[in-house]
């Protein structure tokens, strides 16, 4: 399977060459989309990914650096379907959200634009909870709540991390987290790679955490000012600490798992 990084920036101010968080897993002719930061569908289309193959979209939490491109993603799938006279491959698109408003906000924008997407695509919103979100036999996605967004007693959890299993491999995606130890459950006995948000953590802390874990490769994404402020120095530091097991992900980067 492949991981396509579409946006690798945290919710900082706009950064040259980096857009907000989004990546896609490609396996068995389908795309599984994680977070939808600004411009993610544009980047995917320009990169040559087939937007008509998006089977599921998973939004880790409601912050704008993870949701700003959601309405545009749906609109672009519909536009490509109309322009090329081709149907969406799966007819319906499963959308996993941690909060109803993430979809209703995007839907309001799409409806204000004439709701033309409804003629070509059925979006099925599903409210996220802990446990297996999705299992189509090819890909299994399990959600684990984290403390990035605190909740009042009795309220539902609003931010999640994920374990994604496909082709006999496992990928852990942190979403945004408060403490790296919140990933313990998703990593379990280990995983082949970990896509880790580094917008809230220093390189040394990420290295110390993964030194104890059975994890193949660590991809730094959702990069913040700490890493982007000195890109060259950060790359050298990651290389020195992790060797080839650590990579600072870039927008448009594709890796094989
Ligand atoms: Zn974020």
pLDDT over 90 (residue 154): no
Distance 70 CA to ligand 1 centre (A): 15
Alpha carbon distance 136, 114 (integer Å): 32
Alpha carbon distance 141, 25 (integer Å): 11
Beta strands 131-135; 139-145: pairing state: antiparallel
Mean pLDDT of 96-110: 97
Q: Whole-number mean pLDDT of the chain?
A: 96
Distance 62 CA to ligand 1 centre (A): 9
pLDDT over 90 (residue 186): yes
Roughly how many angstroms between the first and final C-alpha of the chain, as a whole number? 6
What pLDDT does residue 141 have? 98
Alpha carbon distance 74, 180 (integer Å): 32
CATH of the domain at 147: 3.60.15.10
- Do 139 and 165 meet the contact criterion of CB atoms below 8 Å apart? yes
Alpha carbon distance 143, 129 (integer Å): 7
- Quick one: pLDDT band at residue 187, thresholds 50, 70, 90? very high
**Residues forming beta bridges with residue 7, ordered by sequence position:** 22
Question: Domain residues for 167?
Answer: 2-256
Distance 23 CA to ligand 1 centre (A): 13
Instruction: State whether residue 159 is helix, strand or coil.
Output: coil
What pLDDT does residue 152 have? 86
Domain total in the chain: 1
């Amino acid at each position: 399977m492949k991981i396509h990084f579409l946006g690798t920036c945290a919710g900082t101010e706009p950064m040259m060459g980096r857009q907000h968080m989004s990546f896609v897993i490609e396996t068995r002719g389908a795309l599984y989309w994680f977070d939808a930061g600004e411009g993610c569908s544009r980047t995917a289309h320009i990169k040559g990914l087939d937007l008509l193959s998006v089977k599921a979209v998973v939004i880790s939490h409601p912050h704008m650096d993870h949701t700003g491109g959601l309405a545009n993603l749906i609109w672009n799938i519909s536009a490509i379907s109309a322009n090329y006279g081709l149907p969406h491959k799966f007819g319906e698109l499963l959308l996993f959200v941690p909060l109803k408003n993430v979809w209703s906000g995007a839907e309001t924008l799409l409806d204000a634009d004439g709701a033309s997407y409804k003629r070509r695509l059925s979006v099925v919103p599903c409210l996220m909870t802990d446990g297996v979100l999705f299992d189509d036999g090819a890909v299994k996605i399990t959600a684990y709540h984290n403390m990035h967004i605190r909740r009042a007693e009795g309220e539902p959890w609003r931010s999640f991390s994920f374990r994604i299993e496909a082709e006999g491999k496992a990928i852990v995606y942190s979403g945004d987290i408060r403490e790296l130890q919140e990933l313990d459950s998703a990593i379990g006995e280990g995983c082949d790679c970990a896509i880790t948000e580094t917008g809230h953590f220093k390189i040394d802390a990420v290295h110390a955490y993964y030194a104890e874990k059975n994890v193949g490769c660590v991809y730094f994404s959702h990069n913040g000012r700490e890493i982007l402020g000195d890109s060259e120095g950060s790359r050298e530091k990651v290389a020195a600490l992790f060797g080839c097991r650590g990579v600072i992900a870039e927008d448009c980067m594709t890796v094989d798992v």
